[in-house]
Amino acid sequence: MKNIMMTTALCLTMATSAFAAGHSSSFLDYTVSSNDLLASELLGMRVFSAEADVDVSANMVAAAQAEWDDIGEINELILSRDGTVVAVIIGVGGFLGMGEKDVAVGMDQISIMREADDANDIFLVVKSSSDALEAAPTFEGRMAMDAKTDLVGSTERDMFTAPKVERDGYAMMVRTDLTAEMLTGARVYSINDEDIGEIHSLLVDDTGTIDRAIIDVGGFLGMGEKQVAVTFDELTILRQDGGDDVQVYIDATQAALEAQPTYEK
């Protein structure tokens, strides 16, 4: 028994040493150089477009950016599983975030320029025109991917029936007249006018049509809420005559909604 215990202890010691050696080799004794860029520095950095070729081998002269167009800023970096930057997401156009759209460009399409008089003064330049960037495909992001994934892998459940509801001063709306701005944040009621939640967000199908609504059910001040996805065939939506107030009705109680499968992004 002693020999067995000694052998086991020796094996554990060797395994632990091998584990430590293998994991310690994963760490780098790395010092940031003047040529390195941190992701935190890139995010939010302004991006310029130049229609002429940019000589990245030479530092730019002072105020050279005056000849370029300020097209936007970096909103996101997308990395592959091996850590390679596969796309840079630039918010193009707009004012204070309004009317802006995201476009994806390859990291190899961005030239990193340093000012001759100040090496710490960095400018990001793409060879393009403002018009070409405005016409570029819009990057939809993970939200669109999540919506498509959810549509494909949605959980089977018993559906509710849209209730017949009439309220003074309100008219029923059809789906084609609905917008995300109109519905997001709208209160959701049972047919007995019990306030059971609010519309958190909307999902769209492959054609871009609003397909389902995500309802925040229950909770208090955002705490303890549960998200449930329902189709628009289960909802009756009323809008105030001549006003902006929107009320959403479903033939379910709060308890019945909370018993539905939780929407997972």
Please report which helix (H) or strand (E) contains residue 40, including its range. helix 39-42
Please report which helix (H) or strand (E) contains residue 236, including its range. strand 235-240
Give the pTM: 0.45
Cβ-contact 150, 263 below 8 angstroms = yes
Rounded Cα gap, residues 261 and 95, in angstroms: 40
Cβ-contact 254, 196 below 8 angstroms = yes
Helices marked H in 78-197? 130-135, 141-152, 180-183
For the chain, give the percent of residues with pLDDT over 70: 67
Classify 39-139 by CATH class.
mainly beta
Domain 170-258 falls under CATH 2.40.160.20: no
Rounded Cα gap, residues 44 and 70, in angstroms: 13
Per-domain boundaries in the chain: 39-139, 170-258
pLDDT tens-place string over residues 58-109: 555 555 566 778 888 888 888 877 778 888 888 887 644 445 778 888 888 8
pLDDT tens-place string over residues 171-227: 998 777 777 888 889 999 999 999 999 999 888 766 666 778 899 997 655 556 788
